[in-house]
């Protein structure tokens, strides 16, 4: 499954241009996410370089650009904060260990071929989850936007400290933050096509801060270590293994969802088809290596991927070239990067947060079903104020329960019990005649479609009529799926009929359905001739049984 992608030079010019443009977009975001996570600007840069390289070389989506993303940064911020609070000496090393474990989980998902199932989540849950992450990213930037250090405590800590932050606002830094947002939101569309607004804001506002403010004491990125990254060996305590594994699972799953959704976007733009499981393995390998060398976790980034494709990138070579450009930029301009104000990065992060919010759903929430709206906002609030995994777990559970209830209500109509001809039955004229000749002594159970556990109650309601008939026919010929719960319910129906000394015939079209019933133990009570593939044959045998009992 792990195989190196062949680097094709057939589209060299397009791939080089795509990689260059993607690198220009990546640089300010990598710095922003590195600082926002608490791991430092270097962590963001290393993550953008290392994950981008390994995902391009070993992933399954040729044009995918992988790097630290907003959602991954939000989770990493929480991981860094909690682990450093619990273990100040080794907390950062433990956080990078979580990144490596997340990569291992992603490789495991790929090896288990779970790629195509990763995104099978109700849209209301995905929408609430992503909007919640966007809101967290915005709230966490309030302190640097106001010219102050983070108060700690995540979202709740920031909101509690907000009155203090506002009263101590550094006007100059707030002005830099506001100018950054102005550029990001109001850059003309024509200019955006050639230069990313993030880069314009980063360069322009940084120059303004140096010229206009000079030596004023404002928060800047500061010294960046431009040496090769040191290896961060896995570190953890026995008591915190469970917490780290849970964090890694959340981080790994989020990275999978982020990457798979972006891969689908890339497929739509390039009219190709990505390899889900291979991509998960490539992402996992990238995160393992990033964590090993002190980099942020990452995933497929929508903005970088779209820019790459629109600029001409078509093969994995574009991702590799992007990495080379980043290496040159980082190690050649470290002294300039050090002067970037944190307020500028806060502005870029807020814009990312605003873009992550699912405005299309929020604007139309009053038009969609009440259930979907409630689930979306519940997941959003749980994501922001409780926990990411709790939000997704509860959201998926509630959404699935509602879906199962609706499906069960619909499928319950496909369970019918009849003893004479009416408009509901599926019988042809000859079969109707046979059922009428039984003079109400045959109870015909008809099931159709997908029979899931939610319709077992409907089946149980029809059992009350069994004692009033001599023969019971259970017709499963039109059932497309028979789950275990319904199979057990059918067993109860058959057992009850046999205990009442009724004759039972079962109509099954496939040997698999017959075997499933017999495996429950019914083979000891039902004869081989009690099973048939023909509805007509079952009715004929039932009629003979009724006539025989009269004689």
DSSP for 70-134, please give it.
HHHHHHHHHHHHHHHHH-TTTHHHHHHHHHHHHHHHHHHHHHTT-GGGTT-S-HHHHHHHHHHHH
Average pLDDT, whole number, for the chain? 85
The number of C-alpha atoms within 13 Å of 449 and in the hemisphere containing its C-beta is 13
In the predicted model, what is the mean pLDDT of residues 25-54?
91
Bridge-based pairing of strands 471-482 and 503-507 is: parallel
> Among 326, 359, 392, which residue terminates a domain?
359
Higher local confidence (pLDDT), 320 or 3: 320
Within-domain flag for 83: yes
Within-domain flag for 371: no
Within-domain flag for 373: no
Rounded Cα distance, 459 and 481, in Å: 15
Band the pLDDT of 549: cuts 50, 70, 90.
Answer: low
- Give the count of domains, the chain: 2
Within-domain flag for 370: no
Residue 453 per-residue DSSP state: G
Model confidence at 401: pLDDT above 90: no
User: What pLDDT score does 174 carry?
Assistant: 93
- Start-to-end CA distance of the chain, whole Å, equals 70
In the predicted model, what is the mean pLDDT of residues 206-219?
80
In the predicted model, what is the mean pLDDT of residues 107-128?
84
Given its phi and psi angles, is residue 536 left (phi above 0), alpha (psi -120 to 50 degrees) or beta? Answer: alpha
In the predicted model, what is the mean pLDDT of residues 454-470?
74
Rounded Cα distance, 103 and 110, in Å: 11
Domain match, 425 and 496 both: yes
Model confidence at 89: pLDDT above 60: yes
Count of positions (residues) in the chain: 551
Within-domain flag for 6: no
Contact of 259 with 303, CB cutoff 8 Å: no
Order of strands across the sheet that contains 471-482: 415-418, 442-451, 471-482, 503-507, 531-532
User: What pLDDT score does 423 carry?
Assistant: 47
Per-residue exposure over 8-19, b if at least 16 CB sit within 10 Å of its own CB, e if not? eeebeebbbbbb
Domain match, 320 and 211 both: yes
Higher local confidence (pLDDT), 234 or 91: 91
Contact of 542 with 438, CB cutoff 8 Å: yes
In the predicted model, what is the mean pLDDT of residues 467-474?
86
Domain match, 98 and 211 both: yes
The CA angle 189-194-198, to the nearest 5 degrees, is 75
- Of 69, 146, 172, 164, give the one whose Cα is nearest residue 346: 146
Within-domain flag for 302: yes
- 357-400 pLDDT, tens digit each: 888 888 887 777 788 888 889 989 998 888 777 887 888 888 77
Residue 359 makes CB contacts below 8 A (sequence gap 6+) with none
- 92-117 pLDDT, tens digit each: 989 999 999 999 999 999 999 988 77
Most confident of 216-225, 352-361, 399-408: 352-361
Domain match, 250 and 346 both: yes
User: What pLDDT score does 248 carry?
Assistant: 93
User: What pLDDT score does 102 carry?
Assistant: 96
Rounded Cα distance, 439 and 434, in Å: 9
Within-domain flag for 169: yes
Contact of 308 with 318, CB cutoff 8 Å: yes
> Among 335, 359, 383, which residue terminates a domain?
359
- 154-208 pLDDT, tens digit each: 888 889 999 999 999 889 999 999 999 999 999 998 888 778 888 888 889 988 8
Structure tokens at 71: 């959602």
Domain match, 417 and 351 both: no
Model confidence at 57: pLDDT above 90: yes
Which region among 51-60, 259-268, 277-286, 442-451 has the lowest average model confidence (pLDDT)? 442-451
Domain match, 204 and 316 both: yes
> Among 318, 339, 359, which residue terminates a domain?
359
Pinpoint the alpha helices (H) of 38-69. Answer: 41-58
% of the chain beyond a pLDDT of 90: 27
In the predicted model, what is the mean pLDDT of residues 344-348?
91
Contact of 504 with 538, CB cutoff 8 Å: no
User: What is the rounded radius of gyration, in angstroms, for the C-alpha atoms of the chain?
Assistant: 31
Domain match, 235 and 125 both: yes
Within-domain flag for 369: no
Domain match, 320 and 456 both: no
Domain match, 293 and 184 both: yes
Domain match, 215 and 113 both: yes
- 272-303 pLDDT, tens digit each: 888 999 999 999 999 999 999 999 999 999 88
Model confidence at 420: pLDDT above 70: no
User: What pLDDT score does 176 carry?
Assistant: 92
Domain match, 142 and 55 both: yes
Structure tokens at 349: 């992060």
User: What pLDDT score does 155 carry?
Assistant: 86
Domain holding 423, by residue range, is 413-550
In the predicted model, what is the mean pLDDT of residues 469-497?
83
% of the chain beyond a pLDDT of 70: 91
Say whether 507 sits in a helix, a strand or coil: strand
In the predicted model, what is the mean pLDDT of residues 221-233?
74
* CATH code assigned at 500: 3.30.750.24
Does this model's pTM top 0.85? Answer: no
Domain match, 343 and 469 both: no
Bridge-based pairing of strands 66-67 and 299-300 is: antiparallel
């Amino acid at each position: 499954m792990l195989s190196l992608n062949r680097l094709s030079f057939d589209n060299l010019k397009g791939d080089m241009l795509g990689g260059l443009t993607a690198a220009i977009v990546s640089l300010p975001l990598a710095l922003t996410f590195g600082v926002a996570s608490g791991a430092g600007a270097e962590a963001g840069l290393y993550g953008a370089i290392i994950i981008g390289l390994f995902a391009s070389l070993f992933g399954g989506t040729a044009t995918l650009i992988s790097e630290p993303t907003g959602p991954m940064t939000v989770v990493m911020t929480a991981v860094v904060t909690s682990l450093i609070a619990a273990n100040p000496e080794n907390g950062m090393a433990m956080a990078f260990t979580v990144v490596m474990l997340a990569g291992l989980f992603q490789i495991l998902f790929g090896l288990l071929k779970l790629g195509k199932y990763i995104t099978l989540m109700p849209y209301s849950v995905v929408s609430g989850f992503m909007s919640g992450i966007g809101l967290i990213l915005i709230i966490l930037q309030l302190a640097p936007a106001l010219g102050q250090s983070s108060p700690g405590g995540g979202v709740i800590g920031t909101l509690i400290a907000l009155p203090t932050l506002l009263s101590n606002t550094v006007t100059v830094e707030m002005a830099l933050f506001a100018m950054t947002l102005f550029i990001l939101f109001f850059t003309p569309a024509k200019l955006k096509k050639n230069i990313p607004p993030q880069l314009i804001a980063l360069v322009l506002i940084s120059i303004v801060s140096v010229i206009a403010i000079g030596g004023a004491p404002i928060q800047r990125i500061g010294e960046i270590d431009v040496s090769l990254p040191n290896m961060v060996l896995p570190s953890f305590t026995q008591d915190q293994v469970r917490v780290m594994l849970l964090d890694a699972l959340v981080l790994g799953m989020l990275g999978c969802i982020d990457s798979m959704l972006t891969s689908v976007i890339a497929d739509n733009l390039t009219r190709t088809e990505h390899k889900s499981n291979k991509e998960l393995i490539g992402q996992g390998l990238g995160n393992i290596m990033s964590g090993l060398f002190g980099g942020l976790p990452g995933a497929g980034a929508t903005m970088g991927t779209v820019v790459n494709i629109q600029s001409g990138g078509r093969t994995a070579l574009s991702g590799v070239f992007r990495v080379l450009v980043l290496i040159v930029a980082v190690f050649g301009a470290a002294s300039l990067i050090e002067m970037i104000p944190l307020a500028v990065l806060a502005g870029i992060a807020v814009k990312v947060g605003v873009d992550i919010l699912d405005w299309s759903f929020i604007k139309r929430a009053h038009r969609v079903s009440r259930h979907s709206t409630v689930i979306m906002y519940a997941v959003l609030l749980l994501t922001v104020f409780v926990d990411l995994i709790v939000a997704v777990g509860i959201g998926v559970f509630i959404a699935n329960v509602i879906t199962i209830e609706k499906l069960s209500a619909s499928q319950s109509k496909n369970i019918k019990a009849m003893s004479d001809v009416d408009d509901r039955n599926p019988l042809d004229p000859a079969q109707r005649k046979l059922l009428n000749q039984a003079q109400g002594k045959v109870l015909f159970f008809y099931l159709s479609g997908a029979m899931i556990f939610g319709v077992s109650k409907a089946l149980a309601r029809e059992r009350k009529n069994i004692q009033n008939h001599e023969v019971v026919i259970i017709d499963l010929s039109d059932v497309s799926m028979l789950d275990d719960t319904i199979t057990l319910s059918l067993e109860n129906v058959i057992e009850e009929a046999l205990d009442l000394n009724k004759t039972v015939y079962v109509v099954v079209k496939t040997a698999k359905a017959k075997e499933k019933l017999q495996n429950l133990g019914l083979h000891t009570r039902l004869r081989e001739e009690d099973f048939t593939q023909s509805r007509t044959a079952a009715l004929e045998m039932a009629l003979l049984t009724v006539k025989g009992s009269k004689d």
